[in-house]
Structures are given as C-alpha cells and as structure tokens.
Amino acid sequence: MEEFIPYLVIAVVVIIFFLICYWLFKSPQSKDAGLRQTNGKRAGEKRYKVQSNRQERANSMPYRRDDTRTSMNTYSETTTDDENTSLSNRKHAIEEADRMVGNRLMGSHTTVVPKQLVEEMPATDGVEDDVERDFYSPIDEPYDDIDIDSNDTETSATLVMPAVDTQHRNVSMDETRVISTSAMWDTHSMGETCGVADASRMGMDHNKDATESMVPKSHVDIAMAPFLHYFGGVSEATRKAVTEITTDALYHLDVTHPEEAQALLESIVVQEAMLCMQKAYAATPTFWMKSAALEAFLDVVQEPKSSTPYLVAFDALRILPHLTLGHFQIMAIILLLQYSRNSNNYTLDYFQHYVEKYIEPFISDIPRDNSVFRQLEYLRCSMPEREQITFARLMSNSYPFVFNFRGFTIEELERAMGGETLPTSFVVKSMNSSLYKLAIVDESMAQALFRQAHINDIDIQQRLIGLMKSKPTSFSGAEARNILEKISPVLLDLADIFDSGELSNISLTLLGLYLGRAHVKATIGEEFDISRWF
C-alpha cells in the first residue's frame, strides 16, 4: 500500500494544479464578458447619438442625400429589437424638437426647446476605434467635414459648413440652415437692428439715383457738371455765380439744347477753358471779372487755334482767378496812356471829358505797393523798362501839338492862308497859352483836317504846319503841373502816382494788353483795337 502513496500525492497535486488553472482562466473570461456587454451597450448609445446628430443635420441642411438615409436605415436594421424601440422613441422626440426649433427660427429671436422632448446623451468613455470606423466609412458618409475625436471623454460631432454654390442652390422655403447658436443670434440681431434700416436706406438711395438719372439735364447743367465734379461741394452763392456766367456763355454761343452742350464739351480744351472761366467768376463774382472771363472764353472757342488771340485768351483764363481790381486797373491805365490816345483832345473841354471818361474810372484802386507790379511781371502781363518816363513827358509824346507848342495868332494864320479863308471850326484855343492852334493833336492828323477844310494847296498846307511848330515849349516842371491841374485835378493826382511808383518804368505784354482792353471794355463799354500788336 505504501508503494501507491507517491502516485496518490502526484495525483492530488495534479488535481489541485488543474483546479487552480481552471479558477484562474475562468475569472478573466467572466470579466471580459461583462466588459464586452457594457461596451456593447455604450457603443449602441454612441451609435444612437451620432445617428441622431446626422438625422438632425440632414433635416436642417438644404443639401440632403438619399444615401445617408439609406445608410441610417441599414444600420438601424442591424440593431436589436429593444434598441430599435428605444431609438424610435428618442427619434420621434428629437424630430418633434427639430420642428419646433425650425419653426421658431423663422419667426423669433429666441428658440426654447421643451425640456421633456430633449434627453441628455450619456458620455461615451473609451469607445473602440473599430466601431467608429465601421460607422463612418467613406461609403456611408456624404460629408467630408465631420470630425469625431475618439480620445475625448465625451464624443461629439462638429459640422463645418461647406461653401454654397449659388448657381446650383435650390433650397425650399420651409428648410432652414442651422449654423451655430452664437452665429444665429448675431445674424438674426443684425438683421433686426440694422438690416431692415440699411435695406430701406439702400432702396431709397437707389430710387433717388434712378430718379435723378431719369430727370433730363438742361444744357446749363451739362456745362456746369465738370465744375461741380472738380470742386465737389460748393456754396449756394458759388453755384448761382457759376450758373449765371455759364448761361451767358452758352447764350453767346447759341447753345440751347443738351446735345449741343455735350458736343461743345467734347473738346478737352473747351472743357478746360469753361472750367477756368467758371472758376474765375466764382472766385471774384464782379462785373469786370465776368466780362473778362466771358470774352476770353469766347475767343478760345471762336478764334482759330493758329491765331495769336486764341493762345493769349487761353493764358488769360488760366491767370484770371489770381487777379484783383488793382491788377486790372494798372493794365488798363497803362493801355490808355501808353498805347492809345484820344484824337479829340485838342481843346480844354474835350480833354476834361477824356479825363472824366477814360481816366477817373481806373485810378480808384491803383496800388502803390511794388509787390503787385512784381506779380504782374511774374504772370507775364508786364515787363520792366530800362528807362523811366515821367507823366508829363508821356503826355507831350502822345499830344505834341497840345503840349509842346504854344500856337499862333490870328494875324499869323491869315498870312499863312494867303487870302484863303479857314473855317473857325478848325481853329481852337491853346491850353498852354493865350494863342490859337489847329484842331489836331499831332502832325499825322493834318491831312485829314486839310481834306475836311478843302485846303488842297500844298504850299498853304506846309505854311500851316510850320505855323503850328513856330513856338515850341518844354512841357515839364511847375508849368506842366499847372497845365495838368488846369485841365483836371485828377491828372495831377495821376501824375504823382505815376512818377512815384512802378507805372513809370513798365510796359505791357500781349497778355497785359489783352486783359487791359477787357477791363476797359467792362468798365466804360468801349473796346480798343489792339490788333496791330497781335
């Protein structure tokens, strides 16, 4: 019996070993089975949550795909009967909430979902990757922009809105795109607070522009458009001045229709000339500026481009906004004294009338500041002379028979006539003596007098010319001042201004002559012929 004891011990040890192994291998299998059951339940809940999210997205987005619903239906068929029943109940609750959310999004700011219709989804913990891969296979997933982070303790789906192709967009009115809560509130608030007002204001502006474009523009409006566009906002006084001079310019050009105004402004040169004219009168709305600007503009339009007046007139328009009354009076008085003379100034009455009409209107604002003369020189209206000339000498050069000779007696006149009779209308009283003179201011006018007096004898003509020059005198100093004062105190004042300032050593350019003539015409209504200098 003792010989079987070792074998019995070995058998007991083997049995105990197998029992221990059986116990060790049996416990992990039970634990694994329990874990698999728990994970299966959680995987089903996760599938339901993702399925619910996809169903909600499919209902809310305008781009639905039938294959998505097919995939969902296929997946639903694989679940158990208990899960189908639970999912069906939950699905009805979610769809009911979706309908309420969609309806309220269309009509109000705030959407309140009944608490009893929404059931919280339990957070998934440690869902296996193979479950997610099976559900989000490329065949079943219609959107590329759904991202699920399996490492998070709570799995959620994030929707990135795709770009919408407006050419293929076909959304029914009852479908609403749900973006995000914050974006939805911001967009809806903006639409309520400012969207309606902006749309209304934009509509009003559009209607206003359309109305203005439908109103036919007159020829004056068309001619004023470049000025208003160039300077932007202008005052009512400026607009009135520009309208006035533009109307006058179009009237002188016989432009009465919008088509004619458009044809006129097709030339860039004419547009610039029109703008300069309007700018000059807008800056200085006076009668003399209007006259000068209008005349220069008409010369630019009507004169040939190859002519000198065309170029001078265009230069005049460019500098007109910078000129003042003092500038114009300087050019006008120089034109009257140095470049013209009155052929009737052989008697005291005629000379006094000349001073009253041609001199007095142009000395009221003559500046004594040398800077004004420098401006005229800079603007190429004048140029300095090397030699200064006095006012008395200027008068004697213009009217030599009036100031440089004393005259003759009646007896000397009768002897020179040789028995012929000279009508008394051709003999006048001398202004610088008690003698008499012929009714001429210089020798160049003698032939006209002889023709009018019917003196055809050349010897008599020569004796009369010699008689006029028989008693020369120097028109200067105190004697000259006395004679000037006798004619008019205005001449004496002008002599003081002339001799003490820059008037005595300047001359005018073509531009200065042009503007001086324009000012004389605007002031006294008389136009001087300056064509010989052009």
Residue by residue, pLDDT tens for the chain (534 residues) are: 566 788 788 888 888 888 888 878 765 555 555 545 555 555 555 555 545 555 555 454 444 444 444 444 444 444 444 544 455 555 555 565 555 544 444 444 444 444 444 444 444 444 444 433 343 444 344 444 434 344 444 433 333 334 444 444 444 433 334 333 333 334 333 343 334 334 444 444 444 444 444 445 788 999 999 888 888 878 899 999 999 999 999 999 999 999 999 999 999 999 999 999 999 999 999 999 999 999 999 999 999 999 999 999 999 999 999 999 999 999 999 999 999 999 999 999 999 999 999 999 999 889 888 999 999 999 999 999 989 999 999 999 999 999 999 999 999 999 999 888 889 999 999 999 999 999 999 999 999 999 999 999 999 999 999 999 999 999 999 999 999 999 999 999 999 999 998 999 999 999 999 999 999 999 999 988 898 888
Contact, 494 vs 504, CB < 8 A? no
Alpha-carbon span 56 to 503, nearest angstrom: 97
Strands 146-148 and 157-159: antiparallel
Alpha-carbon gap, residue 187 to 173, rounded angstroms: 18
DSSP per residue over 192-237, as a string?
A: IIIIHHHHHHHHHHHHHHHHHHHSPPPHHHHHHHHHHHHH-S--HH
Q: Is the pTM of this model over 0.75?
A: no
Burial of residue 445, with CB atoms counted within 10 A of its CB: 0-12 exposed, 13-18 middle, 19 or more buried: middle
Q: What per-residue confidence (pLDDT) applies to 132?
A: 39
CB atoms inside a 10 Å sphere around CB 103: 13
Cβ(286)–Cβ(365) below 8 Å: no
Closest CA to 430 of 476, 456, 459, 399: 399
> How far is CA 471 from its chain centroid?
71
From the number of C-beta atoms within 10 Å of its C-beta (0-12, 13-18, 19+), residue 426 rates as middle
Burial 140-152 (b: 16+ CB within 10 A, else e): bebeeebebeeee
At what angle are helices 287-302 and 325-338 packed, to 10 degrees?
70
Instruction: Look up tokens 């547009």; give the residue.
Output: 271
| Residue 481, CA distances (Å) to 361, 392, 486, 505 in order | 21, 8, 8, 20
pLDDT value at residue 402: 95
Q: How many helices (H) and strands (E) does the chain have?
A: 23, 6
Question: Long-range contacts: 480-485, Cβ < 8 Å, 24+?
Answer: 480/392, 480/395, 480/403, 481/392, 483/403, 483/431, 483/432, 484/391, 484/392, 484/395
Residues of 182-208 as b/e, b for ≥16 C-beta within 10 angstroms? eebeeeeeeeeeeeeeeeeeeeeeeee
Residue carrying structure tokens 């209902």: 59
How many angstroms separate the CA atoms of 366 and 330, rounded? Answer: 6
Compute the distance between CA of residue 309 and CA of residue 306 in angstroms, rounded to an integer: 9
Distance, CA of 54 to CA of 487 (rounded, Å): 113
Interatomic CA distance for residues 522 and 362, integer angstroms: 11
What was the pLDDT predicted at 464?
94
- The CA-CA-CA angle for residues 40, 41, 46, to 5°, reads 95
Asked whether the beta carbons of 140 and 71 are under 8 A apart, the reply is yes
Tell me the pLDDT tens digit for each residue of 67-84.
444 444 444 444 444 544
Pairwise CA distance, residues 364 & 368, whole Å: 12
pLDDT at 502: 92
**Residue 104's pLDDT is what?**
46
Q: Which residues of 271-294 are buried (b: 16+ CB within 10 A; e: fewer)?
A: bebbbbbbbbbbebbeebbbbbbb
CA-to-CA separations, 258 to 210, 218, 458, in angstroms, rounded: 19, 6, 66
CB atoms within 10 A of CB 400: 18
Task: Reduce the DSSP state of residue 158 to 3 states and report it.
Answer: strand
Residues 242/279, Cβ–Cβ less than 8 Å: no
Rounded Cα–Cα distance for residues 475 and 397 (Å)? 10
